[in-house]
Structure 1
Amino acid sequence: MTPFITIEGPDGAGKTTLIKGLVSLLKEQLTVPLVLTREPGGEPLAEEIRDIILDPTHTQLDPRAEALLYAASRRQHLMNKVIPALQQGQVVICDRFVDSSVAYQGYGREIGVEGIIAINQFAIEDHMPDLTIYLDLTAEEGIKRIKEQRSNEMNRLDREEIAFHERVVTGYRVANQKAGDRVVTIDATQTPEAMQQEALNIIKTRFPDIF
């Protein structure tokens, strides 16, 4: 089966820019089709759940309800888009997956990692990524970038206090250490072009048969 690859990182790390450039490079070199998707969202019903989660007016959304909404969106997305694409021999690149829930809800919201893992295990049934590329950046730098580049487009999570984002970064780093070689870290202070090339090289090394 073709690989399922996820891109992770704290807000402001440059995931969107990385993915755009990486996908362009991959389309020129892959010998198999490529599907780009995202979480929360990626398919119609999951996108509706995304709108609920990220709406900045939903300030009263309970942290556990938020975690359950992410898991519900993930299940819908996985069953209706990710798994069918993999079964059809397509490479899937997804902007965020389970690692985000561990970092943002488990650590950021401080509701506990074990519960997050449990509800997501129920949702995904062992369908973990074959490779996760993590863009490492401090919370302070990430929020600085967001305020400078897209201050008018800040969603509900972007608006959280800096302590929340610091916990998210800590959560990612702790979880990455436990994930073994599934997660490969890229320094997000590099130029976008350098990050894109590094990500491409990582994928080529890990999955040479798709090139």
Structure 2
Amino acid sequence: MRIDIISVVPDLLTSPFSASILKRAIDKGIVEIHIHNLREYATDNYKSIDDYQFGGGAGMVMMIAPIDKCISDLKAERDYDEIIYMTPDGKTLNQGTSNELSLKENIMILCGHYKGVDQRVRDHFITREISIGDYVLSGGELGAAVLCDSIIRLIPGVLGNETSALTDSFQDNLLAPPVYTRPASYKDWDVPEVLLSGNFPKIEAWREEQAYERTKALRPDLLDD
């Protein structure tokens, strides 16, 4: 998979891709991450990428011309399955979306900034708009990093255990069951006996029951779906 990220402040994206699972995925050649500084596509000598909004109002707007040039240059090199815009008013990211995007080959992500982008960018270039929650950040970079992490960890070969991602919360609209490790007893707090039984069908049934009960208690809205 190749992911191209267009950003006004690319330095914000240095850290997320230089450690842990994302770095290993890059080092293994499973995924390529390319970060593009939008200012390099500015059309004036001042490297301007934003301007005042028509009609007045507070806040600057990302201009269409630099974005058009950047997207057009990238599309001239390859076809993209999705061109995603990170924005607070996009569709909220969920596990199903991450599952779907993990099957793509080439993805482009545009990080919003200021008051957002010229609406014509959204109308003519963007294929999908994604938010990571009902709140506003200074820019879309952190949201793009979250999106990339949620996608990349699902790609075969990224995690050490291929089945690990399949048992995460929100797969099948359920929260993950409780998990335990050694010691089996700590300060008189004991691990449920079923997990020590070696009876794997019984353990699996217990986990399914716990997942359902946790979801019912903490996120009943998931069961409605």
Alignment TM-score, normalising by the size of structure 2: 0.35
Larger Rg: 2
Higher relative contact order (CA 8 A, sep 6+): 1
Identify, as 1 or 2, the structure richer in strand: 2
